[in-house]
Structure 1
Amino acid sequence: MGVVWAPRWPVVLRDDSLSTPGGTLLLRRLRRADRDAWMDLRADNRDWLERWEATTPEPTGRDRDGRYRGGWPGRTQETKPPSFTGYVRALDRAAKDGSTLPFAVELDGELVGQLTVSSITYGSLCSASIGYWVGEHVAGRGVTPTAVAMAADHCFFELGLHRVEVNIRPENVPSLRVVEKLGLRDEGLREAYLHIQGRWCDHRTFAVTAPEVPDGLLARWRGAPQA
């Protein structure tokens, strides 16, 4: 049960329904030319984003008392993060092998975040997971739910997937609001699901299947009352 074919990449998804100046939202490939804008965006939103950032555990094995630590075999504490160019190349490799669709989120020509469709699996599961972050200055403007809906529809209509899910920390109120707006089904709590800021954290799983949105998740989102 693995990826059996690589979807077309790069791909650009576009929506013009947002009530912002211009109102054009693009999901596109992250480019090396985005470096300065990406670095500035991350720096400006460090406090907004850092508490939700995924981290990698210490190397796998057991401590001196025999307790299991968990982690990534072969990793050492000295492992350095890649350069931005290396980061973009790694995203492109993952996209081309069909396991991930790593989108930059662009609003009216401005880089405002990222959205990643990951764990793309075919066979009997036909599923993927969606994760995202955006700058605080665009939060609450419909950018994130629209982007998630666009990506979900691409998964359903172009990739032929059956199900997409979003996993969210229970205390991440802004992100919980996104899935509430989209009407995703709450499938319950996954204990110690992801490593976040140095510890294993619980997440709630929200999901939608293609038969639930025959006209697409974006169509359902556009038709929902805007709070």
Structure 2
Amino acid sequence: MTLRPIRMRDQRAWREVNRRNREWLRPWEATVPPAPPGHMVQRPTYRQMVRHLRHEAHAGRMLPFVVEYEGRLAGQLTVAGITWGSMCSAHIGYWVDQAVAGRGVMPTAVALAVDHCFRNVGLHRVEVCIRPENAPSRRVVEKLGFREEGLRPRYLHIDGAWRDHLVFALTADEVPEGMVTRWHRGRPRPDVPHK
């Protein structure tokens, strides 16, 4: 499993995975609220999306990644809303190809991103906001030991409406050993039968 910056040349693979997973991702993917009368909102093209992500990355506000599994694009992870000063925090959003869900791909990707944010970028806090109904995404943060902090009512526009989100968070001092170490230490070993 690899986490690396998103590239323009990922377009074909990204579109194929996104198209194949459209119905599976639809209930969890952010949407744009309806525009005021007389205005039109268009979904950005892949190239526009990557340009925006790169611009935000160069400004120090975002870290856009793709997730590769066994050499193939398997999802996307974005560290966004990077805030400096007295806060030093960010939030993480992600999606994964349903074909590889349940194999530890996304927990590993989130663990790598958190370690990068804490050890290399210098952030103090990372949070993940998840719809309460999104059991697979909740399992990711629960496996990694994120702390549940509460509910944000009507937090994000998802699938055509404003949706509540649960907030999960970690601070750098809660994982001095690093997230990847914590994740691997907590996973069952293949040679040990588990119940």
Q: Give TM-score scaled by structure 2 length.
A: 0.92
Q: CA deviation at 1:39?
A: 1.0
Q: Does 1:48 align with 2:24?
A: yes
Q: Does 1:27 align with 2:6?
A: no
One-letter code aligned to 2:95: W
Q: How does 1:82-121 map to 2 (within 5 A)?
A: 82-121=44-83
CA distance in 2, matches of 1:50, 1:128: 24
CA distance in 2, matches of 1:170, 1:158: 31
Unaligned runs of 5+ in 2: 189-193
Which structure: greater helix fraction? 2
Question: Equivalent pairs: percent with the same residue?
Answer: 56
One-letter code aligned to 2:182: R
Q: CA deviation at 1:41?
A: 0.5
Deviations 1:182-215 (A, max 9, x none): 0110101111111111111100000111011001
Match of 1:148 among 110, 130, 133: 110
Q: Does 1:190 align with 2:166?
A: no
Deviations 1:13-69 (A, max 9, x none): xxxxxxxxxxxx111122221111111101111111011111121346xx9xxxxxx
Match of 1:160 among 112, 116, 122: 122
CA distance in 2, matches of 1:80, 1:57: 11
Q: Which residue of 2 aligns with 1:139?
A: 101
Q: Which residue of 2 aligns with 1:58?
A: 34
2:121 partner SS: coil
One-letter code aligned to 2:142: E
One-letter code aligned to 2:93: G
One-letter code aligned to 1:196: I
Match of 1:81 among 30, 43, 46: 43
Unaligned runs of 5+ in 1: 1-24, 64-74
CA distance in 1, matches of 2:147, 2:124: 14
Moved more, 27-36 or 132-141: 27-36
CA distance in 1, matches of 2:121, 2:130: 24
Q: Which residue of 2 aligns with 1:209?
A: 171
Q: CA deviation at 1:122?
A: 1.0
Report the RMSD for the aligned CA atoms in angstroms.
1.5
Q: Give TM-score scaled by structure 1 length.
A: 0.80
Moved over 4 A (4+): none
One-letter code aligned to 2:100: V
Larger radius of gyration: 1
